[in-house]
Amino acid sequence: MFHSVEAIVLHLIPHKEHNAIVKLFTNESGLVSCWINSLHSKSSGIRSAGLQPLTIVNAIVDQREIKQLSTLKEMQISFYPAKISTDIEKSAVAIFISELLSHCIKQTETDKTLYYFIRESIVLLNDTNEKCTNFHIVFMLNLLNHLGLLPKNSFSAETPYLNLEEGTYQEKKPMYTSFLHPAESECLGKLSVLLISSFAVSEIPTGLRKNILHGLLKYFEIHAGIKPLKSHLVLEEVF
């Protein structure tokens, strides 16, 4: 059965010489993995340039219950983040976001709220003239909120330590688990209430931002069940 969907490209996996598998997050069917035949042939209506991570496409997908993979039959670019590809800082953020989403999004059910949050974030990252130093941090916190994984309580002077394994702010420093110190926890608490559109309102010292990023990555590993990422190393070089 053929379906017309809008989708965000998460990951393209080349297969042999001319074929590929692309992982799409769609507005109608959640996560969909699609087989692409003859990606580089002249007769193909699908080009790898239009399947770069975080490109938004209109796709016609052949989905059948008897097949493990859907087939991407046709595709047109709906939004190409051209400014991201020409900006070192934006590119680093985009690569990180793409890897994070590829590991986090596992559901095949419709989640339009999550879809349009990610779509809005891509367009915002592409179009903004603000420094993107904190974009990935605010994005991660918004993503946790959409996934229902934010800490169970809030930072306060009485609960200044974020226990990463328990997902709670607590009074005393945990003895045997990963945690964030009070300065990191306080900053994280303030950032967690921001919408993605307000990513540039706070300035965070480099060392503090690095510690928060490492803490959030650990938090995602524990609570979203993802494997350790690699692209954050690029972020640390750029910012």
Is there a single domain that holds both residue 47 and residue 68? Answer: yes
Pair (68, 88) in one structural domain = no
Look at the block and give the residue holding tokens 């300035």.
Answer: 203
Examine the domain organization and report whether 90 and 72 are in the same domain.
no
| pLDDT value of position 20 | 86
Q: How confident is the model at residue 70 (pLDDT cuts 50, 70, 90)?
A: confident
**Which of 23-32, 39-48, 113-122 tops mean pLDDT?**
113-122
Domain end residue (candidates: 60, 80, 100):
80
Q: Are residues 99 and 31 in the same domain?
A: no
212, pLDDT greater than 90: yes
Residue ending a domain, among 80, 106, 139, is 80
- pLDDT, averaged across the chain: 90
- On whether both 7 and 96 belong to a single domain, the answer is no
Are 51 and 118 part of one and the same domain? no
Top-confidence residue, 177 or 160 = 160
**100 shares a domain with 50:** no
For position 71, what pLDDT does the model report? 85
52 with 9, same domain: the answer is yes
Give the per-residue pLDDT at 210.
Answer: 95
CATH number of the domain within which 153 lies = 1.20.1440.120
The boundaries of the domain holding residue 62 are 2-80
So what's the pLDDT on residue 43? 55
Q: DSSP for 142-173?
A: HHHHHTT-S-SS---SSS-EEETTTTEEESS-
Claim to verify: residue 103 and residue 57 sit in the same structural domain: no
Which of these three, 56, 80, 104, is where a domain ends? 80
pLDDT in tens, 15-42: 777 788 899 999 988 899 888 887 755 5
Q: List pLDDT tens digits, range 136-168.
A: 999 999 999 999 999 999 999 999 999 999 999
What is the pLDDT averaged over residues 173-195? 95
88 and 135 in one domain? yes
Residue 98 · residue 54 · CB < 8 Å: yes
pTM (2 d.p.): 0.93
Closest Cα to residue 9, out of 44, 58, 74?
58
Q: How far is CA 9 from the centre of its chain?
A: 11
**Helix, strand and coil in the chain, % to nearest 5:** 40, 25, 40
Q: What is the mean pLDDT of residues 58-81?
A: 82
> Where does the pLDDT of residue 44 fall: very low under 50, low under 70, confident under 90, or very high at 90 and above?
low
163: left (phi over 0), alpha (psi -120 to 50) or beta: beta
Number of domain units in the chain: 2
How large is the average pLDDT for residues 195-223? Answer: 95
- Same structural domain, 46 and 117: no
